[in-house]
Chains A and B, each alone.
Chain A
Amino acid sequence: MRIDLEARSAPSKVIEFCAPLLALCAAVLIGGGCIALLGKSPVDAFSVYFVAPLAEIWSLQEVAVKAGPLILIAIGLSFCYRANLWNIGAEGQFVMGGLAGGMIAIATFDGAGQGVFGSFWILPAMLIAGTLAGLAYALIPAILKVKLGVSEILTSLMLVYIAEIILDYLVRGRLRDPKGFNFPQSVPFDDVARLPFLMEGERLHGGILLALLAVAIAAVVMRRTLFGFDVRLVGSAPKAARFAGFSDARVTLAVFAISGGAAGLAGVCEVAGQIGQLQPVISPGYGFAAIIVAFLGRLQPVGILIAGFVLSLTTIGGEGAQISMKVPLDMTRAFQGILLMCVLAADVFTRYRMRISFGGRA
């Protein structure tokens, strides 16, 4: 048997739409197989992973809470990946954003929410600081790439480890709550340093609105602006872009700044919304899961919006499965890896026709 790929002259729209769905189905089937191998019922697992979280208001909110950072980060990453640049360190930029925003909250902490010079400025300052911190952190690999030709893949990833170590160190040291019985965590932020909740007494905070806003902005920028065209051109035809006078150095710096800023903003939203203080670990791997979201959403803003909810669903479902079925949490991560592989495999069909022939034709 041999497999031949034949390039399509234009990507098929129908298949482009169906490919992620097919990939999701394939991943669910493979995941079900793994669950069966663990000796659990795949049918029960399916309902725990994909149905149960949608059945109740509180778990729906949890899905939206977790989808927020995934969407926000993935929107930023889609600019990078469109330009064929590989920022895989969003996790580190997320941590740096959370750290920078958190430090403002801690510096202005007085327990009563009075703040210094009033309190209205604290939350906006946190959001801006977080965004800038993520942006600056992402510029390190971008500058090294532009100036010295250092692989952005490896440097951005190494910086993840370094960011995690810095956060851990500070939370155990300088930023620790002095009245916190030596627990490695900061003071709980004042209310003025918290993202407001969308509904009184509920869990859903304003972070999801920022994510939705990012989707809208990205859709406009990518389709309607020269910059969006620039990014797509550098990614798909770098030589043509150079001839046309586009600077790929400028695009590199810009897309890294965008993705880092988005990840940093997601980080500060996480500490100001979900967590409410700094802890040694503030991300359950959002920065890496967002890579999957970006590809599952085919690097399109609306696709990413949907993909973010799908991936968040599997995470919440995974937590449920751990409790009710004793399936280890690692199952979720393994499933996400399988899902990304299926998405990438399905992508082949949008670009190529596949011919499978039998017999020994050399």
Chain B
Amino acid sequence: MSLQILELVLVTIFSAATPLVIAAIGELVTERAGVLNLGVEGMMITGAAAGFAVAILTGSSALGVLGGMAAGVALSSLFGVLVIFLAANQVATGLALTILGTGLSGLIGAGFIGLKREATAHLSIPLLSDLPLVGKLLFGQDFFVYAGWALVVAVAWFLTKSRAGLTLRAVGENHASAHALGIPVRRIRFLAVLFGGACSGLAGAYLSLAYTPFWAPGMTGGRGWIALALVVFASWRPVRAFAGALLFGGATVLQLHAQAASLGVPGQLLTAVPYLATIIALVVLSLRRRRGSVAPASLGLSFVPER
């Protein structure tokens, strides 16, 4: 019996962590290329609205996922053109993207409020999915959870083992040297930004297609910002980002259980836990890391090639 509860808790943690994992991995790649995109929240919420709208209109979850990703890519391309090719301020442009995305999601989702769909299907393998404790966790999740795992592994490999990944990191560490070596700095950065957009859109689509299968304005609730913090928390390493996301998933679940158990702390105040946890995580991290920043050296700086 208690095994079942433990399994349930684990499954909840993983599903709460999934949008954070996906969005954080995307942003991590963007930042490793030296671009800080603060628009994750905006791309995520637009992805959620667009994903749900497409899924309702076509009746297909798969197309919904693609729609969410396309929305993320479209918004990130706007951001990319501004900060990479026009050398606009990255912080301010990212904020603009979040403001735009929030408004856009409302426009897209306006006609879909109150509609519901089935959540996307969960994997089911006879025997394996019924294993005690790990069955549901490993073999009974939905597509997004596996996509998140695959992203972590793929990006971890890409950044450390592949030539393209090393090039991308070189661009993020020192764009002038990379440029001198003939690496197309701005093109690589643009692609990294698009990848981040696709991931944010995917994370948003997860929220509106699987996590809570409906559209509600503001449904991302700051998860995009938490994903941004996760990247810092993870010291720009994919596997650590995954671990961090699980911690946050855990905090969310803890909050839900504490609310149910009514521990004397007002339930409403517990909704502040993820935001407070983010701040505490950043503080703890900086206490531990006294030797200076491990951020990509060119993060947030515009690159304008000399002619």
Q: State the A residues within 8 Å of B (CB).
A: 3-7, 34, 38, 81, 86, 88, 144, 148-151, 153-155, 157-159, 161-162, 165-166, 168-169, 172-173, 288, 291-292, 295, 328-338, 340-341, 344-345, 347-348, 351-352
Contact = CB atoms under 8 A, between A and B. Distances in A.
Contacts of B307: 4, 6
Contacts of A334: 100, 103-104, 106-107
Given A158-B275, A288-B99, A338-B100, A344 B92 contact: yes
B233 to A, nearest CB: 10
A335 B100 CA distance: 7
Nearest to B39: A337
18 contacts: A5-B304, A81-B92, A86-B91, A148-B287, A154-B279, A288-B95, A328-B106, A330-B107, A332-B103, A337-B96, A337-B97, A337-B102, A337-B104, A340-B92, A344-B92, A345-B82, A348-B86, A352-B304
B4 interface: no
Contacts of A288: 95, 99
Nearest to B99: A337
Nearest to B285: A150
A46 to B, nearest CB: 18
Interface size bucket, B side?
35 or more
Contacts of A155: 279, 282
A275 to B, nearest CB: 21
Residue among A6, A154, A168, A291 with the most chain B CB within 10 A? A154
B271 interface: yes
Contacts of B268: 165, 168-169, 172
From B96, B217, B225, B232, name the one whose CB has the most chain A CB atoms within 10 angstroms.
B96
Interface of B: 38, 42, 78, 82, 85-89, 91-93, 95-107, 110, 217, 222, 225, 228-229, 232, 266, 268-269, 271-272, 275-276, 278-279, 282-283, 286-287, 293, 304-305, 307
A168 B217 CA distance: 18
A93 to B, nearest CB: 15
Contacts of B304: 5, 7, 352
A34 B106 CA distance: 13
Contacts of A144: 279, 282-283, 286
Given A165-B275, A340-B99, 20 more contacts: A3-B86, A4-B307, A7-B304, A88-B95, A144-B286, A154-B278, A157-B225, A159-B275, A161-B275, A292-B96, A328-B106, A330-B106, A333-B100, A334-B106, A337-B102, A338-B100, A340-B100, A341-B93, A344-B93, A348-B86
Given A7-B304, A151-B232, A344-B96, A335 B103 contact: yes
Contacts of A336: 99-100, 103
Q: Which 6 A-B pairs have the closest CB atoms?
A: A337-B100, A330-B106, A334-B103, A333-B103, A340-B96, A337-B99
A219 B98 CA distance: 30
B267 to A, nearest CB: 10
Nearest to A340: B96
Contacts of B97: 337, 341
B183 to A, nearest CB: 13
Contacts of A173: 266
A275 B165 CA distance: 54
Contact of B272 (A34, A165, A172): A165
Given A88-B95, A169-B269, A341-B93, A328 B107 contact: yes
Contacts of A7: 304
Nearest to B75: A337
Contacts of A6: 307
A153 B78 CA distance: 22
Nearest to A151: B232
Contacts of A157: 222, 225
A147 B91 CA distance: 22
Contacts of B86: 3, 5, 345, 348
